[in-house]
A = this chain, B = another copy of it.
Amino acid sequence: MSNFIQTLNDAWQRTNSLLCVGLDPEPSKFPGALAGRPDAIFDFCREIVDATAPYASSFKPQIAYFAAHRAEDQLEHLIAHIHARHPGLPVILDAKRGDIGSTAEQYAREAFERYQADAVTVNPYMGFDSIEPYLQHAGKGVIVLCRTSNAGGSDLQFLETGGRPLYQVVAQLAAEKWNASGQLGLVVGATFPKEIEVVRGIVGDMPLLIPGIGAQGGDVQATVSAGRTANGTGMLINSSRAIIYAGKGEDFAQAAAKAAMETRDRINAFR
């Protein structure tokens, strides 16, 4: 039985990287040589994965990009490929699911049994009983949205309740009430380094999935300073588009590898 949190800690140490490569495949952005291939999405992602694996400690496929193209089977093959060829690098399925218990059980089966993901992202709006069914899958990780990197994230997450913004309440619920099994992580966007610092203060060493560097413009130094734990880890720093679309030609995989290496190094410079 794999254990996501342990695998992640081992990966951070072994790879000396906090980089999580996000896989958001858009066929319209693929190089010409892939056009028209029946499994173009898988082929593109596999080349990205194999080229960037030396510089990454995890991968995060975003399921919407597969679902919009009827490519669920390619997502299954991709995750199986990562497990087979890059063992020890955990796969976070970015799905942001959220529903009542009986339905959440089905989503948990989708993420962990069908796709064999090591962790899944979930939405806290429906409360703990919408998160609990995922925790029944022993050892799997559940990464709860806390403070998201988009502008509209403030619409609800920054509303003040009990003297604090809502996202801090979510962090506190996650740390103090919802994490008895030790399987949780939180999503905190890199566009808000001060808020990463506050969340880190609330949740101790809980892993933080931090999207928003790269294409979304988050500052690497401020992010790392705000989010690192005492041993200089604790973060899955995600970059998607800035890595996977670093090159537009036939050398796209090499360009992605170079972007991944540089991102890893920029992160490590501030750890």
Interface residues of A (CB under 8 A from B): 24, 62, 64-65, 67-68, 70, 72, 96-104, 106-107, 109-110, 113-114, 123-131, 145, 148-157, 159-162, 166, 169-170, 173
Contacts and interface: CB of A to CB of B under 8 A. Distances in A.
A166 B159 contact: yes
A152 to B, nearest CB: 3
Contact of A24 (B67, B103, B113): B103
Contact of A150 (B130, B153, B157): B130
A150 B129 contact: yes
A137 to B, nearest CB: 13
A264 to B, nearest CB: 24
Contacts of A127: 148, 150-157
A127 to B, nearest CB: 3
Contacts of A173: 155
A152 B123 contact: no
13 contacts: A24-B102, A64-B97, A65-B106, A67-B72, A96-B123, A100-B149, A101-B150, A125-B125, A126-B153, A127-B148, A156-B169, A160-B161, A161-B166
A128 B155 contact: yes
Contacts of A70: 72, 114
Interface centre among A62, A64, A160 (most CB of B within 10 A): A64
Given A100-B150, A125-B124, A150-B129, A159 B156 contact: no
Contact of A156 (B24, B67, B124, B149): B124
A123 B101 CA distance: 16
A156 B170 contact: yes
A102 B68 CA distance: 12
Nearest to A189: B100
B161 A107 contact: no
A176 to B, nearest CB: 13
Nearest to A169: B159
Contacts of A64: 97, 99, 103-104, 106-107, 110
Nearest to A101: B150
A128 B110 CA distance: 27
A68 B100 contact: no
